Amino acid sequence: MKILVTAKRVTDPDSKIVIKPDGSLDLDGVDFRMNYFCEIAVEEALRIQENLDDVEVVAVAIGDEEATKEVRTALAMGADRGILVECDEAKLDSDLVARILVKVVEEEEPDLIIMGKQAVDGDNNQVGQLLAEYLGWPQATFAYKVELEGETAAKVQREVDGGVETVHLTFPAVITTDLRLNEPRYASLPGIMKAKRKKLDVFEPDDFDIELEQKVEVVGYKAPPSRQAGVTVDSVDALLDKLANEAKVI
């Protein structure tokens, strides 16, 4: 059995990002890390590997050369091999990432894909769904519990408005992870040392005969307006007037 997991490089949520006057981002001094939802995906794949025989876990990242670090982090956690599709991340959108992953899947032929439900930088929450659609595979998004039914199917519980939905999948399939699925392990020192010797293949989009054609273009960034100070009103009528005429929420 082969499981493909994602290891996307994102800005650390605790870092302060400055927006330049021209609408671009100033990333000087900003820390980067593996997307937390991808860490959960890697952890879930490793837990499956620990409970089944003959399971290979392959970690893949799409982005700049620096994303090698995130793939190595997945290898240090326990993944067996790594893949980096090197390209300018500024020229990527969700659809293009999904189409590149389709080519990786066609090359690797995994039985199961586990990936973060979204990246904490763009928060688009689109790649998993697009990937499943392009592949024609069943999908279970926002998984908070995964139970394998042999090596060819799984039962996935996912949180929905008002309760829990349980879906059954036959492989090959795509599962995207939610926060409650597990707690990712820390890479041990022996794992970090072993990761340096594990295989990491580097490709470019040209290797998969794919054009970097975006459907979504980011034209700039703008900080939200600063929060206004609160005011005290002396009557219900005054409150309703402000809600209707100033806040315009009623």
Max mean pLDDT range (19-23, 32-36, 160-164) = 32-36
CA distance 159 to 150: 24
Domains held by the chain: number? 1
Position 16 scores a pLDDT of 82
Position 224 scores a pLDDT of 80
Query: Has residue 247 been placed in a domain?
Result: no
91's CB contacts (< 8 A; 6+ apart) are 212, 214
In which band, very low, low, confident or very high, does the pLDDT at 225 lie, cut at 50, 70 and 90?
confident
**The pLDDT of residue 137 is above 90:** yes
Query: Has residue 149 been placed in a domain?
Result: yes
Contact 153, 170 (CB under 8 A): yes
CA end-to-end span of the chain: 56
Q: How far is CA 110 from CA 129, 204, 228, in A?
A: 17, 20, 52
Task: Look over the chain and give the mean of its residue pLDDT values, rounded to a whole number.
Answer: 91
Domain that holds residue 107: 2-222
In which band, very low, low, confident or very high, does the pLDDT at 219 lie, cut at 50, 70 and 90?
confident
Query: Has residue 118 been placed in a domain?
Result: yes
Q: Which residues pair with 82 in a beta bridge?
A: 59, 200
DSSP code of residue 91: G
Q: What is the CATH number of the domain that holds 112?
A: 3.40.50.620
> Looking only at Cα atoms, what is the longest distance across the chain?
71
Query: Has residue 133 been placed in a domain?
Result: yes
Average pLDDT estimate for 54-77: 95
Side-chain-facing half-sphere of 62: CA atoms under 13 Å = 25
Of the candidates 53, 58, 36, the residue with the CA atom closest to the CA atom of residue 113 = 58
Higher pLDDT: 37 or 223? It is 37
Average pLDDT estimate for 117-128: 91
Query: Has residue 106 been placed in a domain?
Result: yes
Of the candidates 186, 172, 158, 169, the residue with the CA atom closest to the CA atom of residue 43 = 186
CA distance 31 to 27: 8
Average pLDDT estimate for 213-228: 83
Percent of the chain clearing pLDDT 90 (strictly above):
68
Q: Which two tokens stand for residue 176?
A: 């995207």
Position 10 scores a pLDDT of 92
Q: What is the CA radius of gyration of the chain?
A: 21
Q: Which two tokens stand for residue 195?
A: 């990761």
Query: Has residue 248 been placed in a domain?
Result: no
In which band, very low, low, confident or very high, does the pLDDT at 143 lie, cut at 50, 70 and 90?
very high
Query: Has residue 91 been placed in a domain?
Result: yes
| Phi then psi dihedrals of residue 165, to 5 deg | -110, 135
Of the candidates 51, 20, 15, the residue with the CA atom closest to the CA atom of residue 32 = 15
Query: Has residue 218 been placed in a domain?
Result: yes
